[in-house]
């Protein structure tokens, strides 16, 4: 097996290893903050802010599939405010897309008669229901992240994460690892998972089940980052190549410091 061009960490100058070490330390800290950021921006979307769940991820990209505030209120505390037949009219209006024309013709009269006694602004703690715009606010369905938001975050991630893994895996190329295919898999994985991660955002917006692809992509990327970080740091400072391997790159072959 040819090892031309492969230099193990132990063959690198102290100053180069210092550059690599400090870069890994700062990028490792950055990764921890990225994890915190993921937690703070997603945990709690499903009503439980103690942890982050697949449901949180689904809601972030796809939106909530549970009822709108209006329907939830009419099934719950507001159920007794109007007869069943009128309630059905409102449900039908929401299901058919909450259009303004239908609101003006079918829903507004009901709301005026049944709801405005309280929802006319006299009580500032309950939603105003005096106009189409006001009622729309309690009907708006949570549709998750918008496409422009996803596009913005996509390009930032594609550029930013590629930079980070270019640096980390360039450092990691100096590690000795067998089988070689495993080393290659660890290197390739983050570049593949950034693509699957980002495409899964759009798929999740459409089909919520793809949240699992986002989670799997993130997990694989994290495993790869951790493996590259730990193996690089360890081999840079605490590892001695086995003697039978040393000739294959532990020492600069071009300088002939080890010959056989
Ligand atoms: C007798 C007074 C009264 C009437 C009439 C009334 N509401 Fe309410 N409504 C309240 C109060 C008080 C609250 C806040 C407390 C609660 O949610 O139980 C509320 C809350 C709501 C909420 C917000 C729930 C949330 O998630 O915060 C909606 C939506 C709502 N009402 C819709 C309606 C509709 C539609 C009607 C007419 C069919 C109606 N209400 C009639 C008193 C009223």
Q: What is the pLDDT of residues 217-238, one digit of tens each?
A: 999 999 999 999 999 999 999 9
Q: Distance between CA 168 and CA 221 in Å, rounded?
A: 12
Same domain, 113 and 232: no
Choose one of 106, 139, 172: the last residue of a domain: 139
Q: Which comes out higher in pLDDT, residue 219 or 77?
A: 219
Is position 175 within any domain?
Answer: yes
Same domain, 159 and 133: no
Asked if the model's pLDDT at residue 165 lies above 80, the reply is yes
Q: Please give the residue range of the domain that contains residue 88.
A: 69-139
Q: Going by CA atoms, what residue is nearest to atom 20 of ligand 1?
A: 126
How large is the average pLDDT for residues 159-184? 95
Q: Which comes out higher in pLDDT, residue 215 or 63?
A: 215
Is position 1 within any domain?
Answer: no
Is position 169 within any domain?
Answer: yes
Q: How buried is residue 64: exposed, middle or buried, by Cβ count under 10 Å (0-12/13-18/19+)?
A: middle
How high is the pLDDT of residue 74?
A: 86
Same domain, 206 and 232: yes
Same domain, 155 and 251: yes
Choose one of 121, 139, 157: the last residue of a domain: 139
Q: Distance between CA 165 and CA 191 in Å, rounded?
A: 7
Is position 2 within any domain?
Answer: no
Q: Distance between CA 226 and CA 81 in Å, rounded?
A: 57
Q: What's the pLDDT band for 158 if we cut at 50, 70, 90?
A: very high
Chain centre distance of CA 184: 25
- Which is it for the CA torsion 156, 158, 161, 163, positive or negative? negative
Per the structure, the count of domains in the chain is: 2
Q: Distance between CA 83 and CA 10 in Å, rounded?
A: 81
State the first-to-last Cα distance of the chain, in angstroms, to the nearest integer. Answer: 14
Is position 163 within any domain?
Answer: yes
Is position 244 within any domain?
Answer: yes
Q: Distance between CA 150 and CA 55 in Å, rounded?
A: 18
pLDDT tens column, 32-75: 999 998 888 887 677 666 778 888 888 788 877 666 888 878 87
Same domain, 40 and 155: yes
Is 19 near ligand 1, meaning CB less than 6 Å away?
A: no
62 closest CA partner among 258, 254, 205, 167: 205
How large is the average pLDDT for residues 188-216? 93
Q: How far is the CA of 145 from the centre of ligand 1 (A)?
A: 28
How high is the pLDDT of residue 163?
A: 96
Is 107 near ligand 1, meaning CB less than 6 Å away?
A: no
Asked if the model's pLDDT at residue 259 lies above 60, the reply is no
Same domain, 180 and 74: no
Would you say 20 and 171 are in contact if contact means Cβ atoms under 8 Å apart? Answer: yes
Asked if the model's pLDDT at residue 249 lies above 80, the reply is no
Is position 232 within any domain?
Answer: yes
Cis amide prior to 216 (ω within 30 degrees): no
Would you say 39 and 52 are in contact if contact means Cβ atoms under 8 Å apart? Answer: yes
pLDDT tens column, 93-129: 998 888 999 999 999 999 999 999 999 999 988 999 9
Choose one of 139, 156, 191: the last residue of a domain: 139
Same domain, 121 and 240: no
Same domain, 56 and 160: yes
Which two structure tokens, joined as six digits, stand for 79?
């159920």
Asked if the model's pLDDT at residue 89 lies above 80, the reply is yes
Same domain, 123 and 251: no
Same domain, 107 and 236: no
Same domain, 85 and 192: no
Q: How far is the CA of 48 from the centre of ligand 1 (A)?
A: 25
Same domain, 214 and 110: no
Is position 183 within any domain?
Answer: yes
Is 89 near ligand 1, meaning CB less than 6 Å away?
A: no
How high is the pLDDT of residue 61?
A: 85
On average, the pLDDT of the chain sits at: 87
Q: Which comes out higher in pLDDT, residue 63 or 83?
A: 83
User: For 61, how many CA atoms within 13 A lie in the half-sphere containing its CB?
Assistant: 27
Residues making up the chain, counted from first to last: 260
Q: What's the pLDDT band for 79 if we cut at 50, 70, 90?
A: confident
Chain centre distance of CA 210: 12
Q: Distance between CA 75 and CA 67 in Å, rounded?
A: 10
Is 73 near ligand 1, meaning CB less than 6 Å away?
A: yes
């Amino acid at each position: 097996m040819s090892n031309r061009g492969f230099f193990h960490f132990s063959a690198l100058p102290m100053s180069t290893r210092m550059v690599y070490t400090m870069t890994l330390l700062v990028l490792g800290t950055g990764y921890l903050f990225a994890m915190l950021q993921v937690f703070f921006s997603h945990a709690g979307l499903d009503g439980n802010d103690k942890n982050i769940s697949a449901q949180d991820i689904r809601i972030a990209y796809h939106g909530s599939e549970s009822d709108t505030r209006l329907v939830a209120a009419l099934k719950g505390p507001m159920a007794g405010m109007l007869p069943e037949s009128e309630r059905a009219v409102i449900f039908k209006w929401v299901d058919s897309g909450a259009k303004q024309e239908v609101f003006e013709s079918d829903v507004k009269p009901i709301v005026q008669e049944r709801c405005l006694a309280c929802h006319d602004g006299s009580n500032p703690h309950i939603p105003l229901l005096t106009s189409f715009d006001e009622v729309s606010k309690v009907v708006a369905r949570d549709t998750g992240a918008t496409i422009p938001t996803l596009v913005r975050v996509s390009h930032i991630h594609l550029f930013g994460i590629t930079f980070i893994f270019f640096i980390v895996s360039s450092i990691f190329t100096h590690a000795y690892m067998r089988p070689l295919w495993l080393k290659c898999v660890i290197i390739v994985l983050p570049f593949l998972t950034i693509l699957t991660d980002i495409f899964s955002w759009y798929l999740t917006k459409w089909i919520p089940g793809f949240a699992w692809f986002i989670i799997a992509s993130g997990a694989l990327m994290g495993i790869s980052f951790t493996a590259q970080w730990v193996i690089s740091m360890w081999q840079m400072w605490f590892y001695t190549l086995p003697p039978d391997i040393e000739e294959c790159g532990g020492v600069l072959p071009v300088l002939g410091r080890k010959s056989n």
